[in-house]
């Protein structure tokens, strides 16, 4: 999710930019960035669904103590994501006020947007990657030497073709589809995108009525990618992005599925509804010029029983759930149900 140009949202057709900095952090260091405990810092906004994938993956895999975390203010300005939640408005590890400073250290005068998630090399202060599609796959497959004991295999070899196929459809119609609907500039463009969102959700419903998770009997990367859009659906996409044919709470299967994940350690404990709502309603001034943040929806239902365990499957297969959220990374009370 990029920063800048807040007043332009909804004023021009939406096209998601490709990640400009696509270096990979790998076990063999072939791009010059070897996996190394303590070397890198993950920069996220808890508002952003693309960054939230990395938050969930990091928790599930137990990488909190080897990959440090910087959380940006959900209200960015035209200078990009800012660290105004930290003392003196500076990230305490990188020493910078704006994420754009790490981009500048990598490439002076970079013309593109400043987006999260981003991984920064702490010793040099340079951006390494903002490739949100590859980043979490590498956490799952290249960082295995640093995974916690009992960590799940989020991208198992035997299921990768099916996972990739499901993720491609979900990306096109749901993850990106809600943005194409929300930032549409004419009726036809909006209606096509909105119809695509609900067509895909309706195709996923019978699949998830039969099985607890999207692919196989355990949590995979496919579930993470669908979760980060569904958890925001009623709070922002239904109203703000006009994806309002029905609410998620009105689809019993998807509502139970997303609650099951939300209540699984590593998912709901990364979600901050306060950051989500304030970002979308206050930053997208082209869509919501008053910047008024709605009071609803009621969040109390997120912790109600879902009964999805009756479908079988185990979230972590033979493994174990992640431990407690590290001190200092807890979601503030106003951001939780």
How large is the greatest C-alpha to C-alpha distance in the chain, in angstroms? 55
Q: Distance of CA 127 to CAs 81, 103, 134, 181, Å?
A: 14, 5, 15, 31
Q: Which helix (H) or strand (E) holds 318?
A: none
State how far Cα 59 lies from the chain centre. 13
- Strand duo 68-71 + 40-44: pairing: parallel
User: What's the CA angle centered on 91, arms 144 and 131, to 5 degrees?
Assistant: 45
Q: What DSSP letter does each residue of 53-114 carry, written as one string?
A: HHHHHHHHHT-TTTSEEEE--SS-BTTBSB-TTSGGGS-TTT--SBTHHHHHHHSTT--S--
Tokens of 18: 């490709």
List the catalytic residue out of 9, 155, 179, 190. 179
Catalytic residue, chosen from 48, 194, 237, 257, is 48
How many Å apart are CA 233 and CA 237, to the nearest integer?
5
328 dihedral zone (left: phi>0; alpha: psi -120 to 50; beta):
left
The sign one gets for the Cα dihedral 316, 318, 324, 328 is: negative
The reply to whether 179 belongs to the active site is yes
CA 292 centroid distance within chain: 24
Give the DSSP per-residue string, 198-209: HHHHHHHHHHHH
Active site residue 281: no
In 3D space, the residue among 42, 230, 27, 8 whose CA is nearest the CA of residue 120 turns out to be 42
List the catalytic residues. Answer: 48, 179
């Amino acid at each position: 999710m990029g920063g800048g140009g807040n007043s332009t949202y909804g004023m021009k057709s939406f096209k998601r930019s490709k990640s400009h900095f696509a270096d990979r952090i790998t076990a063999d260091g072939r791009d010059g960035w070897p996996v190394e405990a303590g070397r890198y810092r993950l920069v996220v906004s808890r508002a952003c669904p693309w960054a939230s994938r990395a938050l969930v993956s990091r928790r599930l895999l137990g990488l909190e103590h080897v990959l440090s975390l910087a959380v940006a203010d959900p209200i960015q300005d035209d200078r990009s994501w800012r660290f105004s939640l930290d003392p003196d408005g500076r990230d305490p590890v990188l020493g910078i006020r704006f994420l754009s400073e790490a981009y500048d250290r990598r490439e002076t005068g970079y013309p593109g947007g400043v987006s999260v998630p981003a991984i920064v090399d702490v010793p040099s202060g340079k951006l390494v990657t903002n490739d949100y599609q590859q980043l979490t796959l590498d956490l799952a497959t290249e960082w295995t030497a640093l995974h916690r004991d009992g960590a799940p295999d989020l991208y198992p070899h035997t299921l990768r073709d099916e996972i990739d196929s499901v993720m491609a459809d979900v990306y096109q119609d749901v993850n990106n589809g809600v943005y194409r609907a929300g930032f549409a500039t004419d009726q036809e463009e909006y209606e096509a995108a909105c119809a695509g969102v609900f067509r895909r959700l309706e195709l996923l419903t019978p699949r998830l009525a039969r099985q607890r998770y999207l692919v196989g009997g355990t949590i995979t990367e496919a579930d993470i990618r669908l979760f980060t859009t569904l958890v925001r659906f009623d709070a922002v996409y239904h109203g703000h992005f006009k994806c309002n044919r029905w609410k998620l709470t009105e689809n019993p299967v998807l509502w139970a599925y997303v609650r099951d994940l939300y209540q699984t350690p590593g998912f709901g404990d990364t979600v901050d509804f306060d950051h989500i709502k304030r970002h979308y309603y206050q930053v997208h001034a082209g869509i919501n010029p008053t910047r008024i943040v709605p009071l609803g929806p009621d969040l109390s239902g997120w912790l109600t029983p879902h009964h999805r365990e009756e479908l079988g499957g185990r979230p972590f297969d033979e493994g174990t759930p992640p431990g407690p959220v590290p001190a200092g990374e807890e979601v503030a009370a106003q951001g939780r149900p």
